[in-house]
């Protein structure tokens, strides 16, 4: 039906063109009016066709979520474990969401949420002499300003917050839970999500771990390269290779 409508539309366009172009034809105002009507009708048909194709695609298309990983003050310039350009990534994520270029059924923001050092829970993730690969300076202490989402990050009002790392280091968002204690896997599953875009900080640690776990959970996974930043160049390159090898699309 769509192709016959298209053929009809093409025919009308050609006929309209001939009327306009026929040598010696003086298009009087009545004819011009007719052409305007045909133009308007054509635009309506085109709009309806776009709607039909959008709905048909909608049925086939993936249900996608955006996972924004750890875009927190401590991982941005000025924070205790600053990732270069973390603040710029935060702004870009906000712009990407505002652009509406991709439709997300859910937006999830993960947050590192660690106990204070020296507290009752021994926390091997922190060190006074961190090696910046397995141990780190204290960061994202529960309730501290460093743990807040970066002010450049604007999320939709219905974004879901997933916190992780309360008892031990948790690089992957899939180790976290939302306010209702649902795991990330659970809440994505219950929303019928089959595909995720992963963005945020840091490429070589929490973004990688989250993307790999998303893949392991059977989701189709893209990492959006303009919307991530890493701790160090070497480990970032390695992380991107590992993700690609696991079937993650780095776009
Ligand atoms: C992260 C290092 C330590 C991250 C978290 O969010 O990538 N990196 N803790």
**76: annotated active-site residue:** no
**70: annotated active-site residue:** yes
139 and 30 fall within a common domain: no
27 and 123 fall within a common domain: no
Query: What range defines the domain where residue 28 resides?
Result: 6-58
Percent of the chain scoring above 70 in pLDDT: 79
38 and 95 fall within a common domain: no
Q: Is residue 208 part of a domain?
A: yes
Q: How far is the CA of 168 from the centre of ligand 1 (A)?
A: 12
What's the pLDDT score for residue 98? 98
What's the pLDDT score for residue 186? 98
What secondary structure letter does DSSP report for 75? Answer: G
pLDDT in tens, 208-228: 999 999 999 999 999 999 999
Euclidean distance between CA atoms 107 and 104, whole angstroms: 7
Cβ–Cβ < 8 Å for 66, 107: yes
25 and 140 fall within a common domain: no
Decide if pLDDT at 110 tops 50: yes
What's the pLDDT score for residue 39? 67
Q: Is residue 1 part of a domain?
A: no
46 and 100 fall within a common domain: no
210 and 196 fall within a common domain: yes
Sheet holding 160-164, edge to edge: 160-164, 106-112, 64-69, 195-201, 220-229, 249-250
Q: Which of 80, 163, 202 to mutate to test the pocket of ligand 1 (most atoms within 8 A of CB)?
A: 202
Which of these, 111, 109, 113, 110, lies nearest to 167 by C-alpha position? 113
Decide if pLDDT at 23 tops 50: no
Q: What's the pTM value of the predicted model, to 2 decimals?
A: 0.78
CA-72 nearest atom, ligand 1: 6
Q: Which residue has the tokens 């010696």?
A: 24
Tally of domains in the chain: 2
**Could you tell me the CATH number of the domain that includes residue 244?**
3.40.50.850
Q: How far is the CA of 85 from the centre of ligand 1 (A)?
A: 15
What's the half-sphere exposure (Cβ side, CA atoms, 13 Å) at 105? 16
Q: How far is CA 49 from CA 4, 22, 175, in A?
A: 12, 30, 44
Decide if pLDDT at 51 tops 50: no
Q: How far is CA 76 from CA 116, 194, 240, 246, in A?
A: 19, 30, 21, 28
Decide if pLDDT at 87 tops 70: yes
Cβ of 136 closer than 6 Å to ligand 1, yes or no, is: yes
25 and 87 fall within a common domain: no
């Amino acid at each position: 039906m769509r192709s016959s409508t298209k053929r009809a539309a093409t025919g009308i366009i050609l006929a309209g063109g001939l009327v306009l172009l026929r040598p010696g034809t003086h298009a009087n105002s009545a004819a011009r009016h007719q052409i305007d009507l045909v133009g308007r009708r054509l635009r309506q048909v085109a709009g309806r066709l776009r709607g039909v194709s959008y709905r048909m695609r909608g049925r086939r298309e993936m249900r996608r979520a955006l996972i924004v990983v750890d875009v927190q003050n401590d991982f941005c310039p000025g924070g205790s474990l600053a990732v270069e350009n973390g603040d710029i990534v935060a702004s870009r994520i906000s712009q990407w969401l505002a652009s509406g270029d991709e439709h997300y059924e859910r937006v999830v923001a993960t947050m590192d949420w660690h106990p204070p050092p020296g507290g009752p829970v021994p926390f091997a993730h922190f060190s006074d002499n961190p090696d910046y690969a397995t141990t780190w300076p204290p960061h994202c202490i529960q309730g501290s300003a460093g743990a807040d989402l970066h002010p450049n990050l604007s999320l939709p009002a219905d974004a879901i917050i997933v916190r992780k790392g309360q008892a031990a280091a948790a690089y992957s968002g899939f180790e976290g839970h939302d306010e209702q204690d649902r795991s990330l896997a659970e809440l994505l599953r219950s929303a019928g999500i089959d595909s995720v875009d992963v963005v945020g900080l840091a490429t070589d640690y929490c973004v990688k771990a989250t993307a790999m776990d998303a893949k392991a959970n059977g989701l189709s996974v893209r990492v959006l390269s303009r919307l991530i930043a890493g701790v160090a160049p070497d480990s970032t390159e390695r992380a991107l290779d590992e993700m690609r090898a696991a079937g993650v699309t780095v776009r």
